[in-house]
Amino acid sequence: MKSNSARPRSRRVLNQSLLVLGAGALATGLAAFTLAPGVSSASSHREAPLIAGDPRADNTDVYAYTSLDRPDSVTLLANWIPFEEPNGGPNFYAFGDDLRYNIKIDNNGDGDSDITYTWRFRSSYRDDANQFLYNTGQVTSLNDPDLNFRQVYDLVVTTGGKSTVLLSGVPAAPSRVGPASMPDYAALRNQAVRNVPGGGQTFAGQAEDPFFADLRVFDLLYGGNLSERGQDTLAGYNVNSVALQIPKKALALKGNPGRNPVIGVWSTTDRQGVQVSDSRDKHGDKWKQVSRLGNPLVNEVVVPLKYKDAFNTLNPDQDRTVQPVVDKVLDPILPKLIQQVYGIPAPAAPRRDLFEIYLTGICKACGPIQADLNAHRLNKDANLKKIVPAEELRLNMAVPPTTSPNRYGVLAGDLAGFPNGRRLTDDVIDISLQAVEGAAQTGRLVPALAGGDQVDTNEVPFGTSFPYLALPHTKSVNSGPNAPEKR
């Protein structure tokens, strides 16, 4: 840099002028350098955001399995808000007060929900003047005055169009701030588990994200390859979960899990709409389904990009009306790409085996997979005429739980795992990859893909009792193992 005394005269004039204008005008002058007219926002033209992040509404995963420690009950889990950084302050992670979080059960196979469990949250601050503080001191219980921000929920069950409030004002487990603020977070978690009238338990709150995967394997679809694998994309992150453990008889058709052991499960999120135009059809302000999830990775393996938005709004009984989605189940892209890149021959289309896994459930009469596993047709009281292909996570509740689960589930002969329901330890990426390569039909794993995504387990062990989820992480994800814990 030149010294100031050596400035040419003209520069001095300019600098003096700018000096006179004050710092603000200097900034103005400089910033104007990059402004060309015609590409600016204007006071008269507002460009509202377009593609929104809506993590509080977007379902990430659903699990359904017979509870190992209570085999007369099923555990249902659903997650939202992926990639929660443990050091998420000052904005900790809350459920949306403007949303309804649902887990839906179809026990007769018509693609419509017969039993819907809904969690509706309400937020409050204990000290309104300090809304920027999550907690004002050490939190040792859920009703500790030091817990400044809190959420409670109502749990509602809806059957046959009739809604019943099962529980009201249940506290959700808070975001885990850190060991100094919450020295015994496990105790807070335990206080957030409540009994449900008529049997079972409910939980809502933060948890470690149980999903484990190297999602880069799906970059095959986008011109990537499998050379980069083995890193758990979700390691170290938390999610917000709702969980329900419920007696099998409460879920089964006619309350009889012996005769009707198969249920279809999926999770949805609703938000209230708005009536804007003067159209004759005035249903704008009704609640709308904005997100939906049943089988894991359905968006990656099955639904084409241009139908993802439509899929989120559909009820499963409408799935079969969207022919392009059905076509993609019968003739998916992924095996063809794997053939191109790795020379593993893609199974011949139409893929009736995948149609079973995703849309009907597996039974000998349903398609080529030689097993009576989890199709609604297996329910003795089901009306076969009413059963339709619909994307749901199907669970046969009569299959006893396995004490030492195999991560490949059904493909390895462990019938209590995905795609018969989904357990926390099921390696759904590897199962899905094998399934699209035809392993469910042949009964043999494809050796060339044996590595899968090379992420075989979650980074932390799961619990042995409800809600089974691991406690939330407290260390920042990108900080390495020796990072200081959050306070």
Partner 1 sequence: MHRPEENPAPAIRHRRHLRNTAIAVALGAVMFTVGAVALSPNGPGPRESSTTASATSAQTRGIEGLRARVKRLPKDPVSWADLGLALVQQARTTADQSTYAQAEGALRRSLALQPAENLHAEIGMGALAAARHRFRDALTWARKAVATSPATPASYGVLADAHTQLGQYEEAENAVQKMADLRPDSASLARASYVFELRGETARAKTLMARALRAAGTPGERAFAHTHLSSLALESGDAAAAERQAQAGLAITPRDAGLLEARAKARAAQGETGQAVADYTAAIAAAPLPQYLLGLGELQQSHGNREQAEAQYAVLRAQETLRRATGAPADVDAILFEADHGDPRQAVTMAEAAVRERPFIAVHDAYAWALHRAGRDEEALAEAERALTLGTRSALFRYHRGAIHQALGDTTAALHDLEQALAIDPSFHPLHAPAARAAIRRIDGTP
Cβ distance to partner 1 smaller for residue 13 or 365: 13
Whole-angstrom distance, CA of residue 135 vs CA of residue 179? 13
The set of residues, in sequence order, having a beta carbon less than 8 Å from that of 110 and lying 6+ positions away, is 317, 386, 387, 388
Residue 352: CB minimum distance to partner 1, A:
26
Residue 256: CB minimum distance to partner 1, A:
38
Provide the 10 A C-beta neighbour count for residue 261.
22
Residue 64: CB minimum distance to partner 1, A:
22
Cβ distance to partner 1 smaller for residue 33 or 385: 33
DSSP state of 42: B
Residue 137: CB minimum distance to partner 1, A:
22
Residue 288: CB minimum distance to partner 1, A:
5
Cβ distance to partner 1 smaller for residue 143 or 225: 225
Provide the 10 A C-beta neighbour count for residue 373.
23
Whole-angstrom distance, CA of residue 107 vs CA of residue 31? 63
Look at residue 237 and give its three-state secondary structure. Answer: coil
Residue 243: CB minimum distance to partner 1, A:
23
Cβ distance to partner 1 smaller for residue 121 or 468: 121
DSSP state of 357: I
Cβ distance to partner 1 smaller for residue 130 or 141: 130
Which residue's entry shows tokens 């063809």?
336
Q: Select from 203, 146, 156, 268 the least CA-distant residue to 472.
A: 203
Cβ distance to partner 1 smaller for residue 65 or 121: 121
Whole-angstrom distance, CA of residue 323 vs CA of residue 312? 16
Residue 231: CB minimum distance to partner 1, A:
8
Residue 117: CB minimum distance to partner 1, A:
22
Cβ distance to partner 1 smaller for residue 96 or 205: 96
Cβ distance to partner 1 smaller for residue 82 or 316: 82
Whole-angstrom distance, CA of residue 188 vs CA of residue 406? 32
Whole-angstrom distance, CA of residue 8 vs CA of residue 5? 9
Phi, psi of 466 (to 5 degrees): -55, 135
The set of residues, in sequence order, having a beta carbon less than 8 Å from that of 297 and lying 6+ positions away, is 218, 428, 429, 432
Residue 368: CB minimum distance to partner 1, A:
28
Pairing of strands 262-272, 99-106: antiparallel
Q: Counting Cβ atoms within 10 Å, is residue 58 exposed (0-12), middle (13-18) or buried (19+)?
A: middle
Whole-angstrom distance, CA of residue 316 vs CA of residue 381? 21
Tell me if the bond preceding 472 is cis, omega within 30° of 0: no
Residue 139: CB minimum distance to partner 1, A:
23
Cβ distance to partner 1 smaller for residue 17 or 140: 17
Q: Counting Cβ atoms within 10 Å, is residue 5 exposed (0-12), middle (13-18) or buried (19+)?
A: exposed
DSSP state of 99: E
Cβ distance to partner 1 smaller for residue 40 or 404: 40
